Structure 1
């Protein structure tokens, strides 16, 4: 006879559930199995009280059992209050308690067997039944914490955006200055040459108005009155210096 190897089944439940006294409490539980769900699949819910004076304080007991497509309540304490609300074919084996009492404070264990997947660790949920005022206060605290967290995220996003914009702006200014400096360093500077030429011309030219060459005529002063002898003209260049 050859036996098929068994694989572990994974069971998941909410770690903690807080409900108001006298209301309905939902205990969710799901599982994962490599085998097809059949009539041999079983679900067991156990409860262990957190009250020291309870007879079930140390040892859990069955409050609900599911097999062959049907659910069976366990102890009288939960008989009329526990209801199966899951879908075994969808691997959902959740239950609800209605109404909840302070005596329900404790740990609920969810265990599933889906042969041949029978090896697995049962999931556990801590149920806390509180007064209406405490429940409202807890909800208010959660809401305030959520709002503060959202505002903090928005502030961080705004600060990050400002930093990024400032970095980009500084980088743009730096690149602009660099490009201008490179253009100025590479561009020819004919103006200096022109100015140097002008300064040279200014240094060699007289400061006063320009005057052409002066022509002087030489006369013959031999003593004769009637004698007038015209000599060759001599041109003197009158150059005035500054």
Structure 2
């Protein structure tokens, strides 16, 4: 009996754990994720954008709200100790917060696209500090506000545009490729001409060495003719066509003509 009871208890525990796992996996989380730029640089006296976006499992509705707060990093500033609300958005309408930011903040986001960005214009040195973006999309109301460190600087302190450097680097790379291609063509042409020159010299050497075996043959012929007794030697017989009548229709006769082979003794 005890063994059967223990087996039933194990099965119940396993079934309960499996059910809990399924419930935890299938039940959507009621939290909301908020993201913003960690740092933003704005030139003094110009407009800047504080970007903020969020992700939620619930459908965006009129109850979705956005709250922007600010805390200064300057000890003598009014907003140094605690954050103050600078802008509030709900039901499709925006409400500026403290008088310091009235007329200088504008909601440029789109709630339906999950964008809660804010524009600050014109930026002032007193705006140096931390801006917090908090979004509520009921029932997704639990989430950590995103924070952005704003630095209002002079124009000389802004990072320079690297477009000129990039263009120069690309042009330099293209010029280097063209130079390499031209150098390769010149090297190939020089090697080709050198190959032709070596071929000509080899042919000339062969032609200059060709008559040597002929001299050997003549020496052999003279040596072979040495023992023969002196006397008139009949030369080669050459047949020539002689025209006796002088007319075109005359019969051409082949007569032998003997040339004497005159050699020095």
Aligned-residue CA RMSD (Å): 4.0
Structure with more relative contact order (C-alpha pairs < 8 Å, separation 6 or more): 1
- For 1:63-106, what per-residue CA distance to the aligned partner results, in whole angstroms no more than 9, with x for missing partners? 11222222222223223432212221122222223343321121
Q: Which residue of 1 aligns with 2:220?
A: 204
SS of aligned partner of 2:99 = coil
- What are the ranges of 5 or more consecutive residues in structure 2 without an aligned counterpart? 1-22, 223-228, 233-262
Out of 139, 142, 145, the position equivalent to 2:160 is 142
Q: CA deviation at 1:47?
A: 0.8
Out of 148, 163, 169, the position equivalent to 2:180 is 163
Out of 16, 36, 46, the position equivalent to 2:40 is 16
* CA contact 1:49–1:106 (8 Å) conserved in 2: yes
* CA contact 2:48–2:121 (8 Å) conserved in 1: yes
Structure with more helix by fraction:
2
How do residues 173-188 of structure 1 correspond to structure 2 at under 5 angstroms? 176=192
Using the TM superposition, name which of 39-48 and 26-35 deviates more.
Answer: 26-35
TM-score by length of 2: 0.58
Change (3 A) 1:37 1:179: farther
Kindly report structure 1 stretches of 4+ aligned residues shifted beyond 6 Å: 177-181
Q: Does 1:38 align with 2:56?
A: no
* CA contact 1:44–1:62 (8 Å) conserved in 2: yes
- What are the ranges of 5 or more consecutive residues in structure 1 without an aligned counterpart? 207-211, 216-237
Provide the C-alpha distance between the structure 1 equivalents of 2:57 and 2:160, rounded to a whole number of angstroms: 38
What is the number of residues matched between the two proteins? 202
Q: Which residue of 1 aligns with 2:17?
A: none
